[in-house]
Chains A and B, each alone.
Chain A
Amino acid sequence: MAYVATRGGEKAIEQAERLFRQDLGTIDAARVETIRRTMPYLIDRVMGEASLYDEELAALALAQTGGELSEAVLVLRAWRTTQPRIAVARPVQQAELLTQRRISAAFKDIPGGQILGPTLDYSHRVLATDVLEGTPFAPPAVDMADHAAPQRQPPLADWQRQQGLVAPANASDVAAEDIPDLTREPLLFPASRAHRLQSLARAETGGVLALGYAAMRGYGNAHPTVNELRLAQAEVVVRHPRGTEFSAGRVRVSQAEVTSSMKGGYLELGYAATFGWNEVKVIAAATLDLNSAAAPVGSAMHEEFYLYHTESVEASGFCIHFKLPHYVTFQSVLDAMRDAKAKAAAATPAAPQMEPAE
């Protein structure tokens, strides 16, 4: 077994890191705070993929990686392992969400009504180039309603069950401490629903979108319609030593249900949720969930395919490891290729040499 040693590697590696960090400049609390305050949707995406909700740490990860998302998620996940798990919160239920955006593309008259919330869905996407000419973009204020929207909205699926449109669901009877946890046990197939939904919650947004889009365009069995989409805040409900349950604070969450067609007399639903407000991710992920049951093994809609290939740290790590030295293994490929060429040349009879006069 041969190996290749690198001369001067330690020095070069140190200088390479210095060069990377020099290009980013000094990182201070003000820079981190600016990122946190001005990039909420980017922060949400990083927190969701890292499975760690803390806006300040996510902003720091973005600052020190220069916005390289794979690296930012990696350092956040690594930092997460340094912290003890103090508690498991009470499971968040949809009816308790502090809802700021809630729409349905399947039913126009949903109980509680449709609320667009903060969105650019119906707006022209125009770059505000005046800002670069020195004219700040100051958004106009919202013309507030004279009364507040209800903070909580009833689950659409509950109403659909009452109408006999959606299959009844079993009562959840798993203690919070016994919920399967991908961060402490391997992902095995066929995956439990808890593992599938946890894996989708922390999946890489671009990967989920690519595979979900493939399903939507026709490579899946089910074309999705958004049954219900929510952007909301969830209370993190923990227990005081005296037993009192209380909220330690709120976190932003997204949820999507998508539906396609009838199965067994009921509308079939797919579901996904994630930390942060990231509706593209949850719609695409719910579409993958919806398509899973009928997906052939090996297709992009099969859970083994999409769960393995949207795990951001493993995927990016595997991809970038190919730039590390492979000289010895690649040399064996070259040797085999040269050997094959030599054998082929030896097996081929030499063409008769023609003399110019012939």
Chain B
Amino acid sequence: MFNEASSGGSDHAAILNILARARPERLKAFAETLLDGADGGINVIANRTGLVMVPMRDTVENVDFHLGEVLVSEAHIADGAGHVGYGMITGRDLERAMAMAVIDLCLAAGGHDRAIADFLADEKHHLQAEDELRMRQVEATRVEMETF
């Protein structure tokens, strides 16, 4: 039923990384515009909250252990042709997960279009700028140790 044969590759991963951290209100508003133009029905396979267990690797003995669970929202949808859209974000916001899935489905069904490319570019720029700002602040706390 689903186009699950192969991984979407690094481009797909990069897109999903952006969508999962995109600004919520912009993400939802943009997904709405895609839904307006969607042909045919969308089948909702799952739209729920749940938990993702996060393991961590111990640096002393390389043993993986469970750190704890993270609350996530998940949306899993498909169109009539069997294309899959998937969204998962940390936190409790089913609309946000669904918006991510709608954009992912549009990409799977029709490939990139200009509007999606622009949205992704905007959000990528915003996220990079946020990280850059924070890490410049962090860099200001670097210390050099000297023994006398």
A residues near B (Cβ < 8 Å) are 47-48, 50-57, 80, 83-94, 98, 100-101, 108-109, 113-119, 142-151, 155, 157, 166, 169-172, 174, 176, 179-183, 193-198, 201-202, 228, 234, 236, 238, 240-251, 253, 255, 257, 269-271, 273-275
Contacts and interface: CB of A to CB of B under 8 A. Distances in A.
A69 B121 CA distance: 43
A86 B17 contact: no
A86 B74 contact: yes
Contact of B66 (A170, A198, A228): A198
Contact of A92 (B17, B56, B76): B56
Interface centre among B52, B104, B143, by most chain A C-beta atoms within 10 angstroms, is B52
Contact of B68 (A100, A170, A238, A275): A275
Contacts of A53: 54, 68-71, 90
Contact of A249 (B21, B59, B142, B144): B21
B66 A194 contact: yes
B145 to A, nearest CB: 3
Given A53-B69, A176-B64, 18 more contacts: A54-B92, A85-B51, A88-B55, A90-B55, A92-B67, A118-B141, A151-B131, A196-B65, A197-B58, A236-B70, A240-B86, A243-B6, A246-B12, A247-B17, A249-B20, A271-B59, A273-B58, A273-B67
A295 B147 CA distance: 35
Contact of A246 (B13, B54, B90): B13
Given A51-B68, A169-B60, A193-B65, A148 B52 contact: no
Interface centre among B52, B68, B137, by most chain A C-beta atoms within 10 angstroms, is B68
A245 B63 contact: no
Nearest to A103: B143
Interface of B: 2-9, 12-13, 16-17, 20-21, 48-72, 74, 76, 84, 86, 88-92, 104, 131-147
Given A51-B68, A92-B54, A149-B139, A245 B89 contact: no
A295 B148 CA distance: 37
Nearest to B87: A248
A244 to B, nearest CB: 4
A220 B43 CA distance: 60
A269 B63 CA distance: 14
A274 B67 CA distance: 6
Given A54-B91, A149-B138, A170-B61, A83 B71 contact: yes
Interface centre among B59, B63, B136, by most chain A C-beta atoms within 10 angstroms, is B59
B141 A115 contact: yes
17 contacts: A52-B51, A56-B91, A83-B51, A88-B53, A100-B134, A116-B141, A118-B141, A145-B136, A148-B138, A202-B68, A240-B86, A244-B7, A244-B9, A244-B12, A248-B88, A251-B70, A271-B58
B55 A179 contact: yes
B72 A248 contact: yes
A157 B59 contact: yes
A50 B92 CA distance: 17
B83 to A, nearest CB: 10
Nearest to A201: B67
A298 B15 CA distance: 54
B69 A116 contact: no
A195 B142 CA distance: 35
Rank and list the top 6 A-B pairs by shortest CB-CB distance, nearest first: A249-B90, A108-B145, A246-B16, A148-B135, A145-B139, A51-B68
A83 B50 contact: yes
A57 B91 CA distance: 9
A48 B68 contact: yes
Contacts of B58: 193, 197, 271, 273
A179 B65 contact: yes
Given A92-B55, A148-B135, A270 B67 contact: no
A114 B142 contact: yes
